[in-house]
Amino acid sequence: MPATVVVGSQWGDEGKGRVVDLLSAEAEVVVRYQGGNNAGHTVWVGDRRFAFHLIPTGILRGKLSLLGAGMVIDLEVLLQEENELAAAGVEVIGKLRISENAHLILPYHKLLEAAEEDRLGSKAIGTTRRGIGPAYEDKAARRGLRIGDLRDEDALADKLTGLVAYKNLILSKVYGAPQVDAEKVFNDLRVLYGHYAEAICDTSLIVAEALASGKNVLFEGAHGTMLDLDWGTYPYVTSSSPTSGAVASGAGIGPKYVGRVIGAAKAYTTRVGAGPFPTEVGEEIASQMREPGGEFGTTTGRARRIGWFDVVVVRKTSRINGLDALAITHLDVLGQFAEIPVCVAYECDGEQTAHFPNDLGRLARCQPVYETLPGWQSDISGARSFGDLPANAQRYVRRIAELVEVPISHVLVGRQRDQSILL
Ligand code: IMP
């Protein structure tokens, strides 16, 4: 059975967690393949809110949940997330497997990132300050520590001593920031390793066996394609690749096994952190959508920037990911507007373009070209089939599919599991 991947087709926070939660009902194995606890996937079950940062959302339905090699993992955060889930009655440890090849986020990564973001001031990227970028930097520089390195105590102590000495030099001499205590880091890691030792393995073997035996495997992308290190609005991006293409390298399978690519897209657009956002609206409109849409970061609690649906963006991310279908989320949030603008092209340097410029200088000169669609001005949160939606809401969804040239697979009209329409 070919595997399915759910990716974000905007700047993250598209509601991937909700979509993965729906699809994981049928899955047997759910796999995260990139990123770390900069991600935040929220799932509501009744009045209980579950916020995932590292653990695949599939754990909620008792599915085998893997943290793949492409991830960067902060074990302290993992333990905290596990404890919160356990307190809510969700079994974690028996269902969790962690790639021995995934990289560790260590205390100095977080300190270095905070020091650099502070130094940059108004030019900062606006990262989540979870140490993601510095951990991936160390991975690329071939001095990262991997989960598998925790097994050999002596080798770990040796590597850590050298690394902490090097990072402390940068922290103190470059930034004048507090230093890290190597012994404390080592002791904390040993305790965390003791807890997770049984879960650490070569997760690519589990995925390969699952695929070979025809099991339903679901890959849970994090962030959004517009935050991709290569294809996003660089440098205002994250340090991994949230695309469908990264499934193969991040999970350790051949690309031919990814059979279905579903992109999650909000019925409008949001972004957290700095960087270009062509359809961003002013605070007057944004404030009307922020509360109903819950537009505050799951990870950092920051108020999200808000804009209209941008066809130029989603056409690009559809191309990069090879989208088979779009899951449109948060459609209910638009119910308050008499008219809803949709950006269909950009006007740039005296010409119209349907393509998102890679050059941020050119992008800054682009103005969105809007098509205005009639709103439905009603509460659609009770709709359970496409036919239940008011005619103008149906028209809005159909028009997005037509403009983006991708069929719609799901429409989500609220945060609860049953507030979803399968097309
Ligand atoms: P980092 O991933 O913490 O390095 O942050 C880099 C940029 O990506 C910042 O603008 C973050 O706000 C953004 N970002 C990272 N992860 C997410 C996410 O899951 N949702 C939305 N934005 C994110």
pLDDT in tens, the chain (423 residues): 789 999 999 999 999 999 999 999 999 999 999 999 999 899 999 999 999 999 999 999 999 999 999 999 999 999 999 999 999 999 999 999 999 999 999 999 999 999 999 999 999 999 999 999 999 999 999 999 999 999 999 999 999 999 999 999 999 999 999 999 999 999 999 999 999 999 999 999 999 999 999 999 999 999 999 999 999 999 999 999 999 999 999 999 999 999 999 999 999 999 999 999 999 999 999 999 999 999 998 878 889 999 999 999 999 999 999 999 999 999 999 999 999 999 999 999 999 999 999 999 999 999 999 999 999 999 999 999 999 999 999 999 999 999 999 999 999 999 999 999 999
220 CB less than 6 Å from ligand 1?
no
39 CB less than 6 Å from ligand 1?
yes
133 CB less than 6 Å from ligand 1?
yes
261 CB less than 6 Å from ligand 1?
no
- What is the structure's pLDDT at 301? 87
135 CB less than 6 Å from ligand 1?
no
Atom of ligand 1 nearest to the CA of 222: 19
- What is the structure's pLDDT at 157? 97
SS (H, E, C) the chain: CCEEEEEECCCCCCCHHHHHHHHCCCCCEEEECCECCCCCEEEEECCEEEEECCCCHHHHHCCEEEECCCEEECHHHHHHHHHHHHHCCCCCHHHEEEECCCEECCHHHHHHHHHHHHHHHHHCCCCCCCCHHHHHHHHHCCCCCEHHHHHCHHHHHHHHHHHHHHHHHHHHHHCCCCCCCHHHHHHHHHHHHHHHHHHEECHHHHHHHHHHCCCCEEEECCCCHHHCCCCCCCCCCCCCCCCCCHHHHHHCCCHHHEEEEEEEEECCEEECCCCCCCCECCHHHHHHHHHHHCCECCCCCCECEEECEEHHHHHHHHHHHCCCEEEEECHHHHHHCCEEEEEEEEEECCEEECCCCCCHHHHHCCEEEEEEEECCCCCCCCCCCHHHCCHHHHHHHHHHHHHHCCCEEEEECCCECCCEEEC
Residue nearest to atom 8 of ligand 1 (CA): 238
Tokens 């469908």 belong to residue = 244
Query: What's the 213 CA to ligand 1 centre distance in angstroms?
Result: 36
241 CB less than 6 Å from ligand 1?
no
- What is the structure's pLDDT at 243? 98
Supply the residues annotated as catalytic: 13, 41
278 CB less than 6 Å from ligand 1?
no
Residue nearest to atom 5 of ligand 1 (CA): 127
Query: What's the 164 CA to ligand 1 centre distance in angstroms?
Result: 26
Query: What's the 250 CA to ligand 1 centre distance in angstroms?
Result: 18
Query: What's the 127 CA to ligand 1 centre distance in angstroms?
Result: 6
Query: What's the 326 CA to ligand 1 centre distance in angstroms?
Result: 22
Q: Name the residue of 272, 299, 300, 317 whose CB sits within 8 Å of the most ligand 1 atoms, as the mutation to test its pocket.
A: 272
238 CB less than 6 Å from ligand 1?
yes
Query: What's the 232 CA to ligand 1 centre distance in angstroms?
Result: 11
